[in-house]
Chains A and B, each alone.
Chain A
Amino acid sequence: MTVDVQRNESPGGLLGWVDTRLHLGPFINALLHVRIPRDAKTFYLGGITLFLFGIQVVTGTLLALYYRPTPDAAYESVLSITSDVQFGWLIRSVHHWAANLMLVFLVLHLLRIFAQAAYKYPREITWIVGGGLLLITIGFGFTGYLLPWDQRAYWATVVGTEIAGGVPLIGSSLLLLLRGGAEVSEATLGRFFGIHVLVLPLLLAGLLALHLLFVHQQGLANPKRAEPRPGRVTAQQPPEKLKPFFPDYILDEVIAWYAVLAGLVILASLFPAGLEPKADPLVTPEHIKPEWYFLAVYQLLKLVPETVGVVAPVILVTIIVLLPLLDRNQEIRPRRRPIAILLALILLVGMAVLTYFGGR
């Protein structure tokens, strides 16, 4: 992005040749040259999540060149990617770790927005779309986990789909829909692959575009002052201090991306993605555990009746996604929102405890 967009006349050379035809200057101007509150503290979490998604698209595409989505060939193709393909281990390990980190940063981003009350007027829709992005990301994790077709993948999916089968009323249909049959089989692998590489990426790209468009339209929230609501008299405040989005903020964001990239390289090098023995529907491993982000639900199911254990997380996720519609408190300072903050803390501690015991 080296276009000198501040000049009104088109630049020379190739870029000028393009610009004289498409007149992209004003568009890029509008995209980049926005001003953001100097007090805005994003910790670059949303941007990092976006960066990790980009990494997933690139590494995922490369993996798809070698991966074969049938029970006969899936395991061997992953083995070949990891052992034979040049730098295949790196691509697969980065894909594996970036998937985990993407979810981590997405949740941190959500917590930042929650703590700063940035989901309130006028950004309710942005939050709800963000909730959709969270669900899609979990869906990526769930569908991607099966693809190596090793014992862990197979049995985690057996357990995971069984949990889905516990949903009241629609459980059995949902189970059949997810598995494409009574058992986790070739049909399951086929649809999980299709969903993972086609359905979810398209959905995510669409929602992400909306999410970014909304953020662009509304600008970043200022955690120190609530947005004035139409028709309400607000006390006169000193003018908001602003700073340019480009290049100031973007520069910091890119430094954060580099830091995450370094973390990814270290994780992928020291803890490369492993592979268990090939899936065997006739041999149930002693301990079947789902991925870490499902451990809380997994542990909850051990403690409460199945229906409660399945319905409670669904209700919780619904509440989280629809939070801006439920939380009518206009206050944005955390100290003035004790109930919301306390409930969130209880939820976080509860999930951490469940995850800890689920993982033991």
Chain B
Amino acid sequence: MRSLRPFLLPGLLAVGSLFLASIATAGAPAGDPASGHGALQVSQATPTPEVPLESAPPLPTPITHRGDASSTGCVDCHSKVDNKQAGIADDWRASIHGKEGVGCADCHGGDPTSDEITVGMAQAAGFQGVPDREVTVGLCGSCHANAERMRPYQVATDQYSKYFSSVHGQRLLTANDDRVAICTDCHGSHGVKPASDPTAAVYPLNVPALCASCHADATKMESYGIPTDQYDLYKVSVHGVQLLEAQDLRAPTCASCHGSHAAKPPRSDEVVAVCGNCHTATQALYEESAHSRLERVGPKCWTCHGTHDVSEPNESLFLHEGGVPEYVCATCHSPTDQSLRLEMDRFEDPGDRRCDTCHHERSLIYSQVEAIAGAIGGARTAYDTALLRIDDAASLGMIVADADVAAQEAKTELIKARAAVHTTKLTTISELTDATVAKAGAAEALANAKLADSDFRRQAMVVVIALIALNVLVLIGLRRRLHAQA
């Protein structure tokens, strides 16, 4: 897009005034009737049309065979073949399948009641050997998509249909590409463990590494032309640190945003709902905003916060440091008809995820952003100052419980004010930052009172010590007189 700049700039200068007017209108505070959609040249052109999904193949019927999981014909022999085979038998016994009566023949066919290789592994007995990758999903689905079969276990039965809606499943179907992830790649084959088992690869804490085992592998991803840095970015993001380091299971794994069986990157118009799954209150605030009303062309969560590399948000997200950026018209305007749009590539660099990447410094909205940044920054400073004073008082041994409570109230207001930034409404934000400053001021006043009290104690101490010294001097005098008499 940057290559278009030399051509775009002169052209746009010609109609600059017209644009500034439209930008200014877009920036008018919400609630202003003049800022309705009608005044905007918003490109509501539909995005690239969705390719219709190839529907899932018909569900195969489960393999039928003689005997049941208590039939030990297979294990009797295979556990004696070699260590690898013995390991497979052990894995199966420890697996959820082994415990719930799903035996070898349920996936491999054959006759597990026979100890004879010619009988047990005979094609006549329905022996199928190792299932091909293409048929594995159907094989798993033959039981797992069967509501009646799954009823005793109270587990979902939609994995089969979800899988074929995923990028993985669609590629398997449409391109016959069997390198995509299938059931056994994530769940294992013989040693399938429930997702609630912390040693399972699909346990939430292990999911990022599981996905990364393919997606961070440049060789595996080469032919798909997709990036491989997601895991590295995720690991140091707020989400990754919370999940992997703090072991907080509330933090999102890859599957929380992409889905697991239905794995697919969220679309631009889905992302607010995806993030809103957890950040419910923030989503509600965003939906009040001018950004939200721009629908497809408006900035979404990831425009400012990124995707895999979400970091702790702070005031630096408002404006570029050290002056305004190089504005690129094409960031927000279609080069062809100058309607509004959003060029996502412009926000790849975390340093460009700023309000002024779009909002020109001469626009009304820019001054509004400055006002919001100032209000939030001021509230933050007031809160930090209160904390410093409380720390000062605490380090002098003063009990600061009441000041801590007041600071906590200020923090609550600050959190609310920072969240309210998503509304883009200066008045809403200012009310909350004003409340933060007032409550932080109350906390600081309490801390200052403690500091004054501490000063008083020290001064009083000097007086008391002086009085004691005076008493001691008198006693020493008495003592001298006593000794002189003796």
Interface residues, chain A, with chain B CB atoms under 8 Å away: 79, 82-83, 89-90, 247-248, 251-252, 254-255, 258-259, 261-262, 265-266, 269-272, 274-275
Contact = CB atoms under 8 A, between A and B. Distances in A.
Interface stretch (B50-58, B162-170, B454-462): B454-462
A265 B397 contact: no
A248 B478 CA distance: 10
Nearest to B461: A269
Nearest to A261: B468
B457 A247 contact: no
Nearest to A277: B401
Given A251-B482, A252-B479, A258 B468 contact: yes
A288 B478 CA distance: 50
Contact of A275 (B399, B478, B482): B399
A22 B475 CA distance: 31
B397 A258 contact: no
A255 B397 CA distance: 29
Contact of A83 (B397, B402, B478): B402
Nearest to B463: A265
B70 interface: no
Contacts of B469: 262
Contacts of A262: 464-465, 468-469
B246 to A, nearest CB: 15
A254 B474 CA distance: 12
Given A269-B457, A271-B397, A272-B398, A248 B468 contact: no
27 contacts: A79-B401, A82-B399, A83-B402, A89-B457, A248-B479, A251-B478, A251-B479, A252-B479, A255-B472, A255-B476, A258-B468, A258-B472, A259-B472, A262-B464, A262-B465, A262-B469, A265-B461, A265-B464, A266-B461, A269-B457, A269-B460, A270-B397, A271-B397, A272-B397, A272-B398, A274-B397, A275-B399
Interface residues of B, number: 20
Contacts of B397: 270-272, 274
Contacts of B482: 247-248, 251
B399 A83 contact: yes
Contacts of A265: 461, 464-465, 468
Contacts of B476: 255
B85 interface: no
Nearest to B398: A272
B458 A269 contact: yes
Interface string B446-458: 0000000000011
B341 to A, nearest CB: 51
A275 B400 CA distance: 9
Nearest to B402: A83
B121 to A, nearest CB: 57
B61 interface: no
Contact of A270 (B402, B458, B475): B458
B401 A83 contact: yes
B471 interface: yes
Nearest to B469: A262
Interface of B: 397-399, 401-402, 457-458, 460-461, 464-465, 468-469, 471-472, 475-476, 478-479, 482
B401 A275 contact: yes
Contacts of B460: 269
A266 to B, nearest CB: 6
Contacts of A252: 479
A255 B461 contact: no
A259 B469 CA distance: 8
A255 B472 CA distance: 6
A83 B476 CA distance: 38
A266 B465 contact: yes
A100 to B, nearest CB: 15
Contacts of B457: 89-90, 269, 272
Contacts of A261: 468
B399 to A, nearest CB: 5
Looking at A269, A270, A272, which has the most chain B CB atoms within 10 Å of its CB? Answer: A269
Looking at B399, B458, B461, which has the most chain A CB atoms within 10 Å of its CB? Answer: B399
Contacts of A247: 482
Given A255-B476, A262-B469, A269-B458, 7 more contacts: A83-B399, A89-B399, A255-B472, A265-B461, A269-B460, A271-B397, A272-B399
B458 A254 contact: no
Contacts of B475: 251, 254-255, 258
A252 B483 CA distance: 12
A234 B399 CA distance: 63
Contacts of A271: 397
Nearest to B462: A269
A171 B468 CA distance: 48
Contacts of B464: 262, 265
A277 B232 CA distance: 39
Contacts of A266: 461, 465
Contact of B399 (A79, A90, A254, A270): A79
A231 B25 CA distance: 116
Nearest to B397: A272
Contacts of A83: 399, 401-402
Nearest to B471: A258
Contacts of B472: 255, 258-259
A251 B471 CA distance: 12
Contacts of B468: 258, 261-262, 265
A312 B398 CA distance: 39
Contacts of A258: 468, 471-472, 475
A262 B461 CA distance: 9
A261 B465 CA distance: 9
Nearest to B453: A89
Contacts of A90: 457
Contacts of A79: 399, 401
A249 B397 CA distance: 38
A249 to B, nearest CB: 11
Contacts of A248: 479, 482
A258 B469 CA distance: 8
Contacts of A251: 475, 478-479, 482
Nearest to B457: A269
